[in-house]
Amino acid sequence: MFFHIILERNMQLHPRHFGRNLRDNLVAKLMKDVEGTCSGRHGFVVAITGIENIGKGLIRDGTGFVTFPVKYQCVVFRPFKGEILEAVVTMVNKMGFFAEAGPVQIFVSNHLIPDDMEFQSGDMPNYTTSDGSVKIQKDSEVRLKIIGTRVDATEIFCIGTIKDDFLGVINDPATA
Amino acid sequence: MSLEPFNRLVKLAARAFYDDISTKGDNQPKTGRSDNRGIAVVVLDALTRRQWVREEDLAKDLKLHTKQLRRTIRFFEEEKLIAREHRRETAKGAKIFSAAVAATADGHHTKEGEEKVKLHTHSYCCLDYAQIYDVVRYRLHRMRKKLKDELENKNTVQEYICPNCSRRYTALDALRLISPDDEYFHCENCNGKLEAESDKIAAQEAGDGDDNARRRRREKLKSMLQKMEEQLKPLVDQLTRVKDLPVPEFGNLQAWEARAHAAGRGGLGDGSSNDPSKSSQGLGYGGTPMPFLGDTKVEVAFAGLDGKDDVKSETVSASLKVLPPWMIKQGMNLTKEQRGEVKEEVKMDGTSTSSTFSDDKKSSVETDDKKSIQDEYVKAYYAALLKKQQELEEAAKKQQELSSSNAANGDTGTSSTRQVGMKLKREDDEGDEDVEWEESNVAGNTNENYKVNDLNVQAEPSGEDEDEDDIDWEEG
């Protein structure tokens, strides 16, 4: 799920950036530092949408670096248990398959794949129904439900299932 | 209220879940002779016929070795079915319990506890019915959930196990376990191939996940679930039956002993736990001493009651306490006191002789001329009754109002207190006005008499109601 929230961060800026463009440099550095990171609490920071407030800088003793407390608005993505996501399959193996929904990786183990789909090894490993009408392979798009999340300080990993109504392949690259 | 449904629940649960529990350690070889499966059921059954019981006594009754019994009981303690208490006690302490046991008049118990006083630490145990109810429900829920989850393969996180080092992983670790070389997961420790965990109930014989095996597994699970529902149906039925019943509660050992003791002493005295003065005085020893009649259900009823009873008695005694200052303050000595006296008299008739104690402290001076005043009063009362017909009618009206309000309020203890309070105020007003009102006060007094009686009459059914409410509340 996506959220638009305000976060705060202390930015350290090198003295060489001081000058007219201090603010621009600060924001550029913030984007470089923050976008794409993941915190267990808020999820993945997708994009910074604006700067709320930049506090007074504090010069660090000895280094000359200046610390600015910066408040910024950003879009974060946090997967939840029970959430339905659309994801792209990145890898298929005997144990199941991995998929990605934006920054988050999801593993679907083979017992959470419908019983009528079987693993076919080979050049392009895939799960196929007995009549061959539905095939899950690399780059397939699937709709899945998250049944478990593992949230560490700096990463989030999910396991999902496609063994439910309206879940499964939504767009097959082979037929498209 | 009855203990019986709960005992039935315990017996059913014992037979369903504990009939093949052996308390033997693993190191001891199981021979035919030492096979003690079924002991657990016997112990539980025995406990349904008892309340708090010393474990040595229980062992003696069951002709079991103390150690064996203790092992079983410890097992049940871990299963949360039994409440236990250990106590270092002297000869005296042991006697307290023996006396308590004797007081329960339970046929199973004898007084042989006294001889065992040399032992210092005694253990007591008792069924914890409230907890048993929860434990059994939880157990059923877990069983059902496990089967259903497996049947639907829903929300189960696949587990993987390393056959070499038997380290376990879950599907959540999957990202770290994939290897670039092949399509299997590899152990982080020993790089061995991980295998999908198959401790699931039905998965044992179905090694590979081929279609047939899966179907067979599903069928097996389904039949298992069905069988479970079928075979545990009596237990489930009993659970639903017990659901709305108040749970029998023995309290902890000390409270129970105290109660049993009090019952032993007070059992011959009176069966009326409604006696307000007694219950208000007897609060010191872990709980109100209530008549303990051996049969648990009765005890439970009173245990639920005593809280309410205290409240009630307090209100009654409060009304008694409120009266004297008022009488003194008004200064209309004789008649007012009479009124108080009459009220007191009625009280004595209505409930208990001991209720005068509280008043005696204050009115000890007047007790001497009590009788004569009373007689006078009665005469005056009758005269007033004849003469002041219309005022009596007024009084009757008021009385009606009161009784109607009484009925409207339902028969709770609080409403009755409120009425007493109202009553007092009204009399207060009348007292202020005139001597003329003296007679009407008399009429008011008849009203009062009626009221007090009424209050007492209503107290008993209300007590029962409140008791039920109380228990319900505890359950919820």
pLDDT digits (tens, 9 = 90+) for B197-252: 765 554 444 444 555 766 777 788 888 888 888 988 989 999 998 888 888 877 77
**What whole-number distance in Å separates Cα of residue B202 and Cα of residue B228?**
14
pLDDT value at residue A84: 94
Cβ contacts (< 8 Å) between A149 and chain B: which residues?
Answer: 172
Mark yes or no for CB contact A98/B178 under 8 Å.
yes
- Label the pairing between strands A104-109 and A156-161: parallel
pLDDT value at residue A52: 94
Mark yes or no for CB contact A109/B174 under 8 Å.
yes
pLDDT value at residue A142: 94
Distances (CA, A) of B367 to A111, B324, B338, B341, B401: 90, 13, 11, 9, 34
Mark yes or no for CB contact A159/B196 under 8 Å.
no
> How close is the nearest chain B Cα to the Cα of A83, in Å?
13
- In chain B, the residue whose alpha carbon lies closest to the alpha carbon of A145 is B155
pLDDT digits (tens, 9 = 90+) for A31-77: 999 999 998 889 999 999 999 999 999 999 999 999 999 999 999 99
Mean pLDDT of chain A: 90
pLDDT band per the 50, 70, 90 thresholds, residue B293: very low
A115 touches chain B (CB under 8 A): yes
pLDDT value at residue A11: 93
In this complex, how many residue pairs, one in chain A and one in chain B, have their CB atoms less than 8 Å apart? 60
- In chain B, the residue whose alpha carbon lies closest to the alpha carbon of A92 is B183
pLDDT at A156 over 70: yes
Mark yes or no for CB contact B184/A93 under 8 Å.
yes
DSSP of A27-85, one letter per residue?
HHHHHHHHTT-EETTTEEEEEEEEEEEE---EEPTTT--EEEEEEEEEEEE---TT-EE
Higher pLDDT, A132 or B90: A132
Most confident of B140-144, B285-289, B320-324, B332-336: B140-144
pLDDT at A106 over 90: yes
Mark yes or no for CB contact A157/B175 under 8 Å.
yes
- In chain A, the residue whose alpha carbon lies closest to the alpha carbon of B185 is A95
Q: Which fold has domain A2-77?
A: Dna Ligase; domain 1 (3.30.1490)
Mark yes or no for CB contact B171/A107 under 8 Å.
yes
Please report, in angstroms and rounded to a whole number, the separation of the first and last CA atoms in chain A.
Answer: 28
Domains located in chain B, CATH noted: 4-127 (no CATH), 136-243 (3.30.40.10), 269-475 (no CATH)
A159 touches chain B (CB under 8 A): yes
pLDDT value at residue B357: 45
In words, the CATH class of domain A84-171 is mainly beta
pLDDT value at residue A57: 92
A65 touches chain B (CB under 8 A): no
Q: Where is average pLDDT lowest: A47-51, A169-173, B66-70, B310-314?
A: B310-314
Please report, in angstroms and rounded to a whole number, the separation of the first and last CA atoms in chain B.
Answer: 16
Q: What percent of chain B has pLDDT over 70?
A: 45
- In chain A, the residue whose alpha carbon lies closest to the alpha carbon of B196 is A95
Q: Where is average pLDDT lowest: A85-89, A146-150, B49-53, B312-316?
A: B312-316
Interface of B with A (CB under 8 A): 153-158, 171-175, 178, 183-185, 196, 209, 211, 214
- In chain B, the residue whose alpha carbon lies closest to the alpha carbon of A156 is B172
Section B454-473 average pLDDT = 45
Section B51-70 average pLDDT = 87
ipTM value, please give it: 0.75
Cβ contacts (< 8 Å) between B213 and chain A: which residues?
Answer: none
**What whole-number distance in Å separates Cα of residue B55 and Cα of residue B127?**
13
Section B269-289 average pLDDT = 39
> How close is the nearest chain B Cα to the Cα of A156, in Å?
10
pLDDT digits (tens, 9 = 90+) for B421-437: 444 444 444 444 444 44
A80 touches chain B (CB under 8 A): no
Tokens 């929300």 locate to B155
Q: Domain locations in chain A? A: 2-77, 84-171
pLDDT value at residue B94: 63
Most confident of A147-161, B99-113, B366-380: A147-161
